[in-house]
Amino acid sequence: MLLADHQIVDRVESGDLTISPFDPVRVQPASVDLLLDHYLRIPARPGAEIDVARVWAGHTTLTEIDEGGWLMQPGDFVLASTVERIALPDDLAGRVEGKSSLGRLGLAVHVTAGFIDPGFAGQITLEIANLSPWPIRLRRQMPIAQLGLIPMASVPHRLYGRAGNHYQGQFGPTESRYELR
């Protein structure tokens, strides 16, 4: 079950759910469109081996999308983040999905990490891959993803952010912290 458009607006307006900045125009029937922020993380040493037992800090480099956009070549991978900061209450989980129009161009917006736990607060990091045969230009503030909100059957005993989670409060695209698991 997902929250409907009017439920999303009601929960944001009541202060129970934070999506900031929030524009009701971006609310869809069962989701909210999210915008691409201006920072990206690109692979620091393409082709270098990453051992998941020892992911090295600095495996990406922070860069910025300028006014001309960021051109992703076929096969490119970047980390990006949403403009919006979200804070989920204890009784909601979230799903980030790509926009279908971008998917039809071959742009994958999240490789695997589309689930957001109850209690999470921060910007959402996106794992963007160009799977198409064409270069694709990303633009600041473009609608990049959509957030669906899922009511929980009950409040979890262990909320995200209260159990030493690695990404609570993240700002900007955040590198993998797999080695901290």
Catalytic residues: 127
Q: Are strands 60-64 and 32-43 parallel, antiparallel or unpaired?
A: antiparallel
User: Which residues contact residue 133 at a Cβ distance below 8 angstroms, ignoring those fewer than 6 apart?
Assistant: 74, 106
Q: Return the number of other C-beta atoms located less than 10 Å from residue 70's C-beta.
A: 21
Which amino acid is present at 21? Answer: P
Query: C-alpha dihedral over 52, 57, 59, 65, to 10 degrees?
Result: 130
Residues 24 and 9: beta-carbon distance below 8 Å = yes
Element (H, E) at 151: strand 143-151
Q: What is the DSSP letter of 73?
A: P
Under DSSP, the state recorded for 100 is: H
Q: Which two tokens stand for residue 124?
A: 């959402």
